Amino acid sequence: MAVFDSKLFLKTLSSEPGVYRMYDNEEQVIYVGKAKNLKKRVSSYFRSNIPDGKTRALVSNIHHIEVMLTNTETEALILESNLIKKYQPRYNILLRDDKSYPYIYLSAHQHPRLAFHRGSRKAKGEYFGPFPSSAAVADSLRLMQKIFPVRQCEDAYYRARSRPCLQYQLKRCSAPCVGKVSDMDYQEQVGMVRQFLTGRSHEVIATLISKMEAASMALQFEQAAKYRDQIALLRQMQEQQAVSGNFAELDVIGYAEHNGLCAIHMLTIRDHKILGTKTFFPKVPKDSLADEVIASFIGQYYLSTQGQGRIAKDIVLPFALEEQTALAEALSAVATRKVLLRHAERGERAQYLQLANKNAMNSILVKQSAQDSVSKRYEALKDALNLETITRMECFDISHTMGENTVASCVVFDGNGPNNKEYRRFNVTGITGGDDYAAMSFALNKRYGKLEDVDKVPDVIFIDGGKGQLARAEEFFATWTVDKMPLLVGVAKGTSRKPGLETLLIDGGRRTINLASDSPALHLIQHIRDESHRFAIAGHRSKRQKQRTQSLLEEIAGVGQKRRQALLKFLGGIQGVKAANLQQLQQVPGISPDLAQKIFNHLHDKA
């Protein structure tokens, strides 16, 4: 590897704020950093005496450095966060949280819909959140359904209504679908939902009190009673929330480290109510300081594109940070309002922090306990199979219905258990329906036919089946040319097919192993076998449902692929198409009145 000429590079480096990316000789980004003064910061990596082992290892792998200037340190901090998210450099502290957060979505329709939302926010409307968990969203939606009669039904269901549904009878929806409420009154309820979701429930109550008094004065006692009931529910909710504390909007960051593992526990409080909690286990390079971990977490959690909508006004830190002022300025700039970062030593904030720290430590203990259990199972399996090491295992299973829609699954376990990112499914084609042996050969060829990376070759391959499936696996690996040869193990079910009676087949079934039903090794095998079974069935069901959906419309003359897609998209899936009346079918782009009549007749004849 060519030696990086740091002196030559530093001569041309600017002293302005910006972000630097360090690359290795394989053009991989290994570190991303930001600086108020780039020249001063980058120069510190090339001092003669660097006590930090992590920094020495980083510098020894630098092939070249790229920089990007920014106008301010705040801009550099935001850019650093986005680049870390993009490149996932191995020497940075990484927040491994790939799941998108759940939101409450208020659509932009004539009669807006309230709904659970997760994923990209492309649809027009307003998004409130994010919430720490899907359960928190579900609880909020249930509560609002009791207070505000705003629809929560799917658009296809809403469009297909000709009379009010059960929610209207339960007084949990005002039935805008069939005109049971005026547009003005419905929008009024939507406005109160908007206030409620932004933490202004006191304003909602004040508005409802005014309306109740006005309705009473106008002798509209039924309407006044509705407002009274809404007020009572909101006040009851406020009483329940009051026990949570005096802070309307607060994020509390707890931190703990133990036995080489660190955890960050986030406590989320909105409108005086603890909405939920979430624990993160960031990937932390060796010798990283706690200050670095928390600063990096704040940058990646709040300053990423998805996180910019969740910045609380007040954020409690587990300890004071060196970059606290710069972080607060960056968060304030992104949130377009003042954001406070503080370390609380007394009062209610300190009590919340103590709780968050306690949960962070408990999460570490639980995780390490689970890891110890997994480790014991791997040790028992190594002994049972007489192997020196097991770092990777894979298991195959086949799923179909009477030979149709055959799907093969391959699940992967590493030293920590299931590695979901490595799971694979294969749509089996070109074989006789129901031939599980041929399907197994197909899956193995798809998985390993072009594999050259030795690190991806498992130590053990489990085949869910008897001697026939195992024989096909041995036939495939008879011509195997990669240096590493996996151990092939068939997992045959007992005569009663009950868990605990499995027999392990090795050497084509010439050697068998029967493990005790309480053996940790057997429990690990059952786990990977059940995962492969679940994954295969899920893929098969999805494929079968897709085929049924397509075939139902494919039977109709004149309905090609584009028209099928238009129908499904416009009416909200096959159930929406089935529920649509003739007029609704005619509104679909590309569907003529005659074709709409043909589709309607065909679907209702099928029913």
Residues 539, 563 within the same domain: no
171 part of a folded domain: no
Residues 409, 489 within the same domain: yes
How does DSSP classify residue 263? E
Residues 407, 477 within the same domain: yes
Residue 528's domain is classified under what CATH number? 3.30.420.340
The phi and psi torsions of 265 (rounded to 5 degrees) equal -110, 120
Q: Do residues 164 and 178 lie in contact, with contact meaning Cβ atoms separated by under 8 Å?
A: yes
Q: Do residues 103 and 117 lie in contact, with contact meaning Cβ atoms separated by under 8 Å?
A: yes
Torsion sign across C-alpha atoms 492, 494, 500, 503: negative
Tokens coding 589:
């782009």
Inter-axis angle of helices 324-335 and 73-87, to 10 degrees?
A: 80
Torsion sign across C-alpha atoms 22, 25, 29, 31: negative
The predicted pLDDT at position 393 comes to 94
Residues 414, 326 within the same domain: no
358 part of a folded domain: yes
Residues 272, 259: Cα–Cα separation, whole Å: 35
Residue type, 607: A
Q: Establish how many alpha carbons lie within 13 A of residue 481's alpha carbon, considering only the half-sphere containing its beta carbon.
A: 4
| Beta strands at 487-492 and 460-464: parallel, antiparallel or unpaired | parallel
CB atoms within 10 A of CB 183: 11
Tokens coding 229:
């009931």
The predicted pLDDT at position 223 comes to 76
Residue whose pair of structure tokens reads 């139902």 in the numeric block? 552
Residue 59's domain is classified under what CATH number? 3.40.1440.10
Residues 52, 287: Cα–Cα separation, whole Å: 7
Residues 358, 256 within the same domain: yes
Q: Do residues 531 and 418 lie in contact, with contact meaning Cβ atoms separated by under 8 Å?
A: yes
For 226, residues 6+ apart whose C-beta sits below 8 A from its C-beta are none
Residue 277's domain is classified under what CATH number? 3.30.420.10
508 part of a folded domain: yes
pLDDT tens readout for residues 413-470: 988 788 888 999 998 888 887 788 999 999 999 999 888 888 889 999 999 888 888 9
CB atoms within 10 A of CB 421: 7
Residue that finishes a domain, picked among 87, 122, 156: 87
- Per the structure, the count of domains in the chain is 4
CA angle 421, 539, 482 (to 5 degrees): 50
How would residue 307 be classed by pLDDT, with cut points 50, 70 and 90?
low
Residue whose pair of structure tokens reads 């079934």 in the numeric block? 509
Q: Which helix (H) or strand (E) holds 266?
A: strand 261-270
Residues 536, 396 within the same domain: yes
The model carries a pTM of 0.51
Residues 315, 440 within the same domain: no
| Beta strands at 511-513 and 503-506: parallel, antiparallel or unpaired | antiparallel
122 part of a folded domain: no
- Range 67-96 average pLDDT: 81
Domain that holds residue 309: 249-364
Q: Do residues 453 and 478 lie in contact, with contact meaning Cβ atoms separated by under 8 Å?
A: no
How does DSSP classify residue 308? G
The predicted pLDDT at position 392 comes to 93
Residue 580's domain is classified under what CATH number? 1.10.150.20
Residues 381, 529: Cα–Cα separation, whole Å: 14
Residues 475, 586 within the same domain: no
**End-to-end Cα separation, the chain, in angstroms:** 70
The predicted pLDDT at position 205 comes to 79
Residues 513, 563 within the same domain: no
Residue 130 pLDDT > 80, yes or no? Answer: no
Residues 251, 328: Cα–Cα separation, whole Å: 14
Residues 298, 259 within the same domain: yes
The predicted pLDDT at position 294 comes to 93
- Range 17-38 average pLDDT: 89
Q: Could you give the percent of the chain with pLDDT greater than 90?
A: 14
Least confident window among 131-135, 420-424, 594-598:
131-135
Q: Which residue has the higher pLDDT, 460 or 311?
A: 460
How does DSSP classify residue 486? P
The predicted pLDDT at position 198 comes to 73
DSSP character string of 514-550: ---TT-HHHHHHHHHHHHHHHHHHHHHHHHHHHHHHH
Tokens coding 251:
């994020």
Mean residue pLDDT of the chain comes to 83
